[in-house]
Structure 1
């Protein structure tokens, strides 16, 4: 099946007894659309628009994921696996209404200031803009964990794709994960703890796999000239993992 069938069958699977939504009206209310819009999609009445969208998504190897657990919110995620298959105009066109097109870049590029240079964008990740973790965030960039990078196991695995909110650089929030940079410009996904030390702030970058990757510590003033944005590039707000081979 392609995207078109996945979409209609997925919506049908969300509605009914013991499902997340009792009827199309409840589904439409959760999605903030008129019930007729749900019915038109399920009945495949919006053929021209859906078929065009389906061709693009099928052509670039993306997948639509439905989570029908009742306790979860109505998140819908689309992720481009082949970073070379879609260019900026195509991604932005698809994302105009319900999706955010986020550039995928290497960690040092993602950690840099300003817009991601066009020639440094590896591809685009499309995510459902109404996901609760993405609301009110606009300065987003995506990074992919390296094939041999195991420092954040089991939370994040090699080749997982993470979304970074570059507007959030406050490491005082405990338990969060961040895109961090060392004084030499190396970047990685780590957790961060802080504490005052001798008139300075100690930044401790630590992994979830602490047995193989011990923590490292720096001083904000001494190592980063007191500029937290040189140490913290942004907070991880969303993650996508391909579990087919896990």
Structure 2
């Protein structure tokens, strides 16, 4: 397998530190955002979660919608879709404060590609994740899969690996899109990762995003999320029809 031993050669960076939840400034009603997933969701490459995917996505959504965003993240470096389902779903809610998300963003799948997870099995894992999120939150909470990022420009990967692995990532991303079309209020948003224009988008491991990379990536994802979240907020605040 062309990925054998590759993960062991990558520089290991820690997950983001600091609070795994926060609140942006803005108007009401507050949008409650939950981010779950792998090392990107866990903010590897950034100093703290405010500079990583969850915090940057919340800030970008707040700027685009004018709403305050209450966010929380449950993630673990190395997590596959199956690991997210089996170990991270309790982090979607906070029973103590009765916090419950208005939208769930899943950032995972790259580790499945690195492990050459079979496409049908990967799609089944996505469908099971959708099922278990629905069992926990109900069908009224939109669930969004962030599209898997391109690996073509990742300097940490040998050139001989980038093209075939990139093609495999694309294959699995299509499985994510298929799983999303079969769910209720489930969406697949192509995001592509940090932009292709020149910039310091990568962290020291040359694999994960830097704080600047997270900011740019989050803006792309937030632009696609803004309409969805606005619709969610509108429906949640409409007066009942007599």
Q: TM-score, normalised to structure 2's length?
A: 0.26
Structure with bigger strand share is 1
Q: TM-score, normalised to structure 1's length?
A: 0.25
State the structure with bigger RCO (CA 8 A, min sep 6), 1 or 2.
2
Structure with bigger helix share is 2
